[in-house]
Amino acid sequence: MKPGGRTVTAAVAVAAHRPFSVRDVELEQPRHDEVLVRMAGTGICHTDLICRDQWFPVPLPAVLGHEGAGVVEETGTGVHDLDPGDRVVLSFNSCGGCRACASGRPAYCAGFLAHNFAGTRPDGSTPLREGQLPVHGAFFGQSSFAGHAVVARRSVVKVDTHLPLELLGPLGCGLQTGAGAVLNSLRCEPGSSIAVFGAGAVGCGAVMAAVAAGCATVAVVGRNASRLSRAKSVGATHTIDATDTDPVAELRALTGGLGVDYSVEATGAPQMLRRAVDCLAQEGICGLLGAAAPGTEVALDMSGLLFGRQVRGIVEGDSTPSVFIPALLDLYRRGRFPFDRLISLYPLGQINRAVADMRDGHVVKPVLTFLGGPA
């Protein structure tokens, strides 16, 4: 533990499929290329849960959380473009030096896994301890399930908005992923049609972006009536309950038998990816956003793909966060990205209830808040 560190309250993932444990841990001072952020809120994302449950082998115990927002309290000696008091949203980390980063595609950083999923900084250290034992941190450069976080500079985006900070964290991952898929990756044209498979935060982010892009048909496929209703409230033109309906047939009927121009798969379920491809028109494009366990396979109809159809994997909405997050806030200011309708707030101590509510579909995007955090 470096001198000058502090004790912070955090939600610690202790073992796969076990509840988070809220307790005190020790947090280091920021290093030269890091920033100390006092958290206002942080979203809970599906990725946090699958990492806790070891779909991806992030070492435990760990402080997860990668949709943070808060106020800068201190900067490292090498950080010259942020100041204490700045309002910030936290997003994924990247190396800044590889070919992808240099060409403005940090989501495809050659070191993406080491900078986001290792449970340590790239040098193998962690800013967190509990007594004499290390706690894995630096998750997505932030580990924001805590009252304070030491954050990699490349994970920090300064924002200019009067919205309550606790609402902004999901812009750093889930909403950015869905919206970026539509606006950055697929580049949906005005008047086009899109089917969104999944009505969680990523799917609803795609819906709002499709509306902003001028898509004429924005159909959402899901299995939870409450979430489908929420998708409708943020702009979906049609909702399809896949529990007892063939969504491919429904989508073809909506498009005069042609199929949709674009689809987004945001569930990670192989059968839904198959449907997201089968519903495409000729030359249609499916964007794959949903995370599945490594080794998960899907069967596709090769003759269907032959007629110009494409499947594209998309990470973080192909976004450069420092550019795209302010762009989403500008859409919000113009009434075209009403993401605040998706958010439900929970104090940090209720993290396990928030997880249960998210998994049951009672809420779309739970956000943890911190007592005494910035407004």
Contact between residue 6 and residue 30 where contact means Cβ atoms under 8 Å apart: no
The tokens for 321 are 């966060």
Q: Where in the chain is the domain with CATH 3.40.50.720?
A: 178-315
Paired with 5 in beta bridges are none
Mind listing the pLDDT tens digit for each residue in 27-66? Answer: 999 999 999 999 999 999 999 999 999 999 899 999 999 9
Of residues 67, 45, 58, 54, the one with CA closest to residue 149: 67
- Per-residue pLDDT 10s for the chain (375 aa) are 444 589 999 999 999 999 999 999 999 999 999 999 999 999 999 999 999 999 998 999 999 999 999 999 999 999 999 999 999 999 999 999 999 999 999 999 999 999 999 999 999 999 999 999 999 999 999 999 999 999 999 999 999 998 999 999 999 999 999 999 999 999 999 999 999 999 999 999 999 999 999 999 999 999 999 999 999 999 999 999 999 899 999 999 999 999 999 999 999 999 999 999 999 999 999 999 999 999 999 999 999 999 999 999 999 999 999 999 999 999 999 999 999 999 999 999 999 999 999 999 999 999 999 975 554
User: Cα-flanking dihedrals φ and ψ of residue 322, to 5°?
Assistant: -65, -20
The three-class DSSP label of residue 186 is helix
Looking at domain 6-172+338-369, its CATH superfamily turns out to be Medium-chain alcohol dehydrogenases, catalytic domain (3.90.180.10)
Q: Where in the chain is the domain with CATH 3.90.180.10?
A: 6-172+338-369
- C-alpha 29/C-alpha 214 separation (Å) is 46
pTM of the model: 0.95
- C-alpha 30/C-alpha 351 separation (Å) is 26
Mind listing the pLDDT tens digit for each residue in 274-289? Answer: 999 999 999 999 999 9
CA angle, residues 366, 371, 375, in degrees to nearest 5:
80
- C-alpha 348/C-alpha 41 separation (Å) is 9
* CATH 3.40.50.720, domain 178-315, yes or no: yes
